[in-house]
Structure 1
């Protein structure tokens, strides 16, 4: 950002005059920016900026964005000077969804239980529901429409039963594996999650610190609430700690290019292209809370009185490109030779196509049930691949990952036995660091998963991941849901 106005001191009264769509100024950490020309380009829409017009936007901005993003997004001419924050008003309609969840909107003022009392992953979820801000909870937990797919993802694991083998020496169980050539201590990784700051002030940096100490991998989202540089600095496992980058292609190809190159420069170990959300699903739980906020003032300012209000998810997804196709793979490969993973495979046909395009990995995922409701459960898609394209699993040239609905070590063991390399968990990691638990909470959750995975590998008769095979499972109940039609490619 240009320093041409570095010494210019602006009064709070002057900033307050620029409070409409024709002249919109905002202040962030004492710096004043003219965002008038940026209103229609803002990923969250003009409404969010106009809510802060002529006021101090620091709290709302910092709750979601990396600190330096504003200066990277605006031209030099947008910086007008500095202002004393005490002279400014804060937005009168400050939305709880963009407040620190540890400070605002708590449903239950009671202190969370000690970490020693947390015995399973769901314990963290129950505590998070009591202590997160209402809108933060809605954003994290929301699924699409009636949330059928969200529920089915978990139910699918219950439909698969173990067929344990006995009299095997299981005195030592080894859970180590590799994800895209990177060594990890567990076959689980932190899935890409948006706005982790809602759960903890240090967001994704807290997750990176915990992941490093526990030896697991992390997938960082394009819309992380901390910068990729700060997340990389937060690693505690050294430069080899595996952090991958989840990519949403932007409608503006130049922005996508810059995003990819920035991640590569930061030192990520691979690019994971998300393909299962070309448009944002209707997350009513999220949108309903937003609709309850009185936004009459903002609607008047943008000439849209009575317009429906978007939830946090749609607000943040407005710039995602719906124009992706299989040529996008070669496009990304021209920018980097890092391993490339396609995230969002929901059918065996697309798994086969991905294999033909020689990607390094696929993630079987329906976006946590957040995009299209009634899309089939990821575990069912994995079973579909196992039955109709087993050559993909045995080939090993393309690793297979899966996320959605994983809450127990038994779930992980079942997915691995069906051919998955590792399993992603998203929401549980957010819940683990909320309620003030921070890094210690996340490490406790990983410890719980480690214990459950080791225990259930031993109980099923396996001492290492390579010994987990389909014959250790009874999949007959889930097979009833398998499709009988496979399209010709």
Structure 2
């Protein structure tokens, strides 16, 4: 059944909301309030072509999962909907000037180079979502600066001919002590999104933690893996509608995920002002719109009403290993150990949740000082946030971390059309830095790294005097 542009444009309100996606017209009125990103995300496309907005964050499979067949109203030629006065939300998602050609990958020598290219080439809304931190972005900056406060103490004359960078993450081999942290909506950076990350992870021998807000379904991501032995873990934000979390865990388990990483450091979404300001500019012509950025629209469904009992719930649901992501104090690290989790991630959410929360590296030093038994117990300790150099990785490992997670760098390396090739080049750069600095330190394996190879005195000054455990 053919639908006219005029007919679609008449359904442009909460009372009656139609959108067109790839030429198919849907009545999404009844779906507005159940949309995980909130009704406003859809309403700004009401009566219009929503293909650009939809494709930037979702895979085509999602339509069949989210909308009933009765929502379909017919077809329209996409060219008929094209208009010079495109909705500002769509315009904000366009690439930067076509004349700004991305540099060849071989010219990018470090992870900072990838970030600079991403800033120039990502759509404005994607850059704001990926790069923004909370409030004054103090935690975001200090997470990186914490590594700069540590000095290395190399050992010389060790006759190092080769180095072995392999690590074991929850029993699965990784070619580097590095994993892909869960990063949401990777499709904003590249059309292949999380699938490109999975392909790169497989070829480089890394573990990928798939975000709860992945723009690709886990089944499709698993299909992008290069081997059935490739390890994918599933991130979980506990949903306000607990049945949706049950479905996610069961679906992940059926698809072959090998662990569940529960993220607990964002019971509410941080105030990411860059993200929200951009949205205000986009919705300036809409008197009913609010300054809510991508972060808040994608996290409305997260439940703030959980406590340690959530671990009992997850164990009844699955036998997969459980990792808690978002530990920010030694006290909670000990509690996690007492609750029997297989791993913890020391993380302040990349500085995106509570500003001035201490750096994850400082939390690692807290553990070393006040609960050193956690370093060599059967609970693995991971660190993420602010890691941009091979020396950062080795400092964390020397101080007791099992492996480190990178988030934003993987998104940046996808951007500017680089996709999987960009991710692999970024990892090659990081791998070379790790290997060469192991030689400088005088170690052949990660297991030979020792805390005395790191002078942490400048950061240790920030430790609190005592902790009651």
Corresponding position of 1:177: 167
CA contact (8 A) 1:278 1:320 kept: yes
Question: Which residue number in structure 2 is paired with residue 254 of structure 1?
Answer: 243
User: 1:230 and 1:119, CA in 2 relative to 1: closer, same or farther beyond 3 A?
Assistant: same
CA RMSD for the aligned pairs?
1.7
TM-score calculated relative to the size of structure 1: 0.92
1:428 maps to 2:418: no
User: Separation in 1 of the partners of 2:408 and 2:45?
Assistant: 30
The Cα shift of 1:88 comes to 3.0
1:285-334 superposed Cα distances (whole Å, 9 cap, x missing partner):
1111111224434x4xxxxx3x5320111111111110111011111111
Worse-matched range after superposition: 40-49 or 267-276: 40-49
Are residue 15 (structure 1) and residue 8 (structure 2) matched? yes
Measured after TM superposition, the shift of residue 450 of structure 1 is 0.6
Deviation (angstroms), 1:169: 2.8
1:430-478 deviations in Å (ceiling 9; x for gaps):
1112112221111111011111111111111111111111111111111
Report what 1:286 is aligned to: 275
Structure 2 equivalent of residue 162 of structure 1:
152
Per-residue CA deviations over 1:27-81 (Å, capped at 9, x if unaligned) read: 2223222211222222222222122222221111111112222321233432333
Compare 242-251 and 17-26 and name the one that shifted more.
17-26
Alignment check: 8 A CA contact 2:121 2:416 kept: yes
Q: How many residues align?
A: 468
Q: Which residue of 2 aligns with 1:95?
A: 89
Candidates 35, 39, 54, aligned match of 1:61? 54
- 1:296, 1:127 → 2: CA distance? 31
Moved more, 85-94 or 132-141: 85-94
In the alignment, the residues of structure 2 paired with residue 285 and residue 30 of structure 1 have an alpha-carbon distance, to the nearest angstrom, of 33
**Where does residue 343 of structure 1 map in the other structure?**
325
Q: Is the 8 A contact 1:60 1:98 kept in 2?
A: no
Answering whether residue 24 of structure 2 is matched by residue 34 of structure 1, we say no
| Aligned-partner SS, 1:358 | coil
SS at match of 1:363: strand
* Partner of residue 3, structure 1: none
**Aligned equivalents of 2:208 and 2:325: distance in 1?**
14
Find out whether 1:71 has 2:64 as its counterpart: yes
Equivalents in 2 of 1:116, 1:160: separation in Å?
A: 30
Does the aligned pair in 2 maintain the 1:64–1:197 contact within 8 Å?
Answer: yes
Structure 1, 421-430 or 64-73: larger mean CA deviation: 64-73
In the alignment, structure 1 segments of 5+ residues that lack a partner are: 1-7, 300-304
Q: Partner of 2:379 in structure 1?
A: 398
Q: TM-score, normalised by structure 2?
A: 0.96
Partner of 1:51: 44
Range moving further from structure 2, 406-415 or 201-210? 201-210
Q: Is the 2:53–2:90 contact (alpha carbons within 8 Å) kept by the matching residues of 1?
A: no
Residues 10 and 81, structure 1, Cα contact 8 Å, conserved in 2: yes
TM-fit CA distance, 1:393: 0.9
Change (3 A) 1:110 1:9: closer
Contact 2:231/2:258, CA 8 A, preserved across alignment: yes
Moved more, 149-158 or 226-235: 226-235
**How far off is 1:349 after superposition?**
0.4
Residues 1:486 and 2:467 aligned together: yes
